[in-house]
Structure 1
Amino acid sequence: MDWGMKNRLSKIIKPSNSRCVMLAVDHGYFLGPTEKLENPRETIGPLLNYADSLMLTRGVLRTSVIPESNTPIVLRVSGGSSIIGEDLSKETIVTSIEEAIKLNASCLALSIFVGSKYEFQTLKNLSKLVNEGEKYGIPVLAVTAVGKEMARDSRYLALACRIAAELGAHVVKTYHCPDFNKVVEGCPVPVIIAGGKKLAEREALQLTFDALEDGASGVDMGRNIWQSDNPVAMLKAVRAIVHENSTVKEAYDQYVNTSTMTEEIRKKSRNKSVSI
């Protein structure tokens, strides 16, 4: 890798421990106004300083993230189908490399749908994106999308991750599963896990812990952060596991304590407003 590629990757995955906490807010590109992400600016603002990087589309970046932010951007550049469309796997590259450079993206993200009707098209998209990224020193994150069912075993995920790495992806995002260590062992580039569907806070923290124990380099969580009752506290708890080696109990206790303190501050603020 040249200097630029190494520099950008170091912003996504911290060199100090080879781990990352990515915040995913790219759901709207196929789901529309997702619950608690109806107003991206309000959702992203309080969380921005606690994420190692932010994964989103160019539209949300331009409209909902302050340009003074130093949080690295993982730019979602694939799309083309919605949840109510013919097939979620029918994607193409929707953002040019020139646009990504203008937006100062540290990484490019694209989904592949291995085994789907449009497998060939999405793998070709990945190859093209890697070629473009290599020209300008911008790494590519391949997302092993699993469609609406969101359930695949280790054999499938190992296949999808290995293909992504073979085609040149620098990082792969996939789902945690039983025997996840086999997925990691078969993939020669860092693997991070998606949060998937909304879980109870302790379950999401357990997912984070288990994934790291099985060899993941970090997490890219969305709904399990911003659909939480206290998103900032939840993101801090996830960070505690990823970057401070906290146990699930320690991280969950931190979440509860932070949530309690936040609620007390809100109550005092409301009472003060009423008295005034």
Structure 2
Amino acid sequence: MADTDGLLDARTFTGGERPATGFHVKGAHAQDWGLQNRLARIFRPDNGRTVMLAFDHGYFLGPMAGLERIDTNIAPLVPQADAIMMTRGALRTSIPSHSTAGVVLRASGGPSVLRDLSDEHIAIDIEDAVRLNAAALAIQVFIGGEHESRSVANLAKLVDAGQRHGVAVLGVTAVGKDMVRDARYFRLATRISAEMGAHIVKTYYVNEGFETVTASCPVPIIVAGGKKLPEIDALTMAYRSMQEGAAGVDMGRNIFQSDHPAAMLAAVRAVVHDDAKPEEAHELFRERSAGSAAS
């Protein structure tokens, strides 16, 4: 076991501008053309940012509120998203094949919400992901969880397969109910995922020290929306995330459980791509909500 006595906290996360690399996605300048092309389907080339719509929750929660009918509740929202995150079953059954959003497929699974969620395995074959034209594969990494080692090994195997076929891998920092959600933990969890080869990392926002999480991760960080919040609170979290170094947001419940999902998605886009302040984005949400109610 590593000796952690006397281990110093990292403290220097700045030190000069990041050099231009010729590619708009952080850490991907040395990747093959195909993998870069897939990353460009997720992150807009003009600003390196993304709004990802997540609706993969059914793989362990079943038909939760807002996801009762993916074909009628979610499919109409897809044209507004830069990327979409879902299972291959949902993609094949419910998303039109003319969609231009970057496809991020859930690649891990196993237990339901009734069991220990960290007991996951790789749940997709790389050839099927290529067949579905996936831009990336998403896999949970349970740092500090009971099955931490297996989840890290799952990530490594998926990265190996992704590198062979030019498919990006999104490492998702899964936080159990007993985990401490602070910047120190997320620096550890995100850095491990990146060091194991993940091309993108999804994590949670924290109010203190989040800029150290984004600065110390050598690949883009996108922020999970998490539980349903009041719209102004979700927009504030998105704004702070972007201002503190995130490359985008991956929101699910804060969009599809809103009373006006399309209006909320438009407001999130304004924050991420136009640097709209939370109050401005919330006003856009209210305007779009009133318009949809009137129609």
Higher helix share: 1
Instruction: Measure how far apart 1:9 and its partner are.
Output: 0.4
Query: Which ranges in structure 1 are unaligned for 5 or more consecutive residues?
Result: 266-276
Query: Within 5 A, what are the aligned runs for 1:1-276?
Result: 1-85=31-115, 87-148=116-177, 152-177=181-206, 178-265=208-295
Whole-angstrom CA distance in 2 between matches of 1:151 and 1:44: 32
Letter matched to residue 192 of structure 2: I
Instruction: Measure how far apart 1:69 and its partner are.
Output: 1.4
Instruction: Measure how far apart 1:147 and its partner are.
Output: 2.5
Query: Which ranges in structure 2 are unaligned for 5 or more consecutive residues?
Result: 1-30
Point out the more displaced range, 242-251 or 48-57: 242-251
Partner of 1:270: none
Q: How many residues align?
A: 264
Whole-angstrom CA distance in 2 between matches of 1:148 and 1:47: 31
Point out the more displaced range, 62-71 or 250-259: 62-71
Moved over 3 A (4+): 148-151
Whole-angstrom CA distance in 2 between matches of 1:226 and 1:150: 27
Whole-angstrom CA distance in 2 between matches of 1:109 and 1:194: 13
Secondary structure of the residue aligned to 2:229 is: coil
Point out the more displaced range, 118-127 or 178-187: 178-187
Are the equivalent residues in 2 in contact too, given 1:150–1:196 (CA < 8 A)?
Answer: no
Whole-angstrom CA distance in 1 between matches of 2:178 and 2:73: 26
Whole-angstrom CA distance in 1 between matches of 2:180 and 2:66: 24
Whole-angstrom CA distance in 2 between matches of 1:14 and 1:147: 32
What is the RMSD computed on CA atoms of the aligned residues?
Answer: 1.0
Whole-angstrom CA distance in 2 between matches of 1:135 and 1:196: 32
Instruction: Measure how far apart 1:47 and its partner are.
Output: 0.4
Whole-angstrom CA distance in 2 between matches of 1:205 and 1:185: 22
Whole-angstrom CA distance in 2 between matches of 1:248 and 1:239: 11
Whole-angstrom CA distance in 2 between matches of 1:185 and 1:69: 33
Q: Deviations over 1:89-112 (max 9, x none)?
A: 010001000110111101111010
Letter matched to residue 168 of structure 1: G
Partner of 1:271: none
Whole-angstrom CA distance in 2 between matches of 1:160 and 1:94: 22
Whole-angstrom CA distance in 2 between matches of 1:69 and 1:16: 20
Are the equivalent residues in 1 in contact too, given 2:42–2:101 (CA < 8 A)?
Answer: no
Whole-angstrom CA distance in 1 between matches of 2:37 and 2:151: 27
Letter matched to residue 100 of structure 1: A
Q: Deviations over 1:231-250 (max 9, x none)?
A: 00000000001111111111
Secondary structure of the residue aligned to 1:207 is: helix
Letter matched to residue 119 of structure 1: E
Closer/same/farther in 2, CA of residues 150 and 26 from structure 1, 3 Å limit? farther
Please report the TM-score for the alignment, with normalisation by the length of structure 1.
0.94
Whole-angstrom CA distance in 2 between matches of 1:69 and 1:174: 26
Please report the TM-score for the alignment, with normalisation by the length of structure 2.
0.88
Instruction: Measure how far apart 1:67 and its partner are.
Output: 1.2
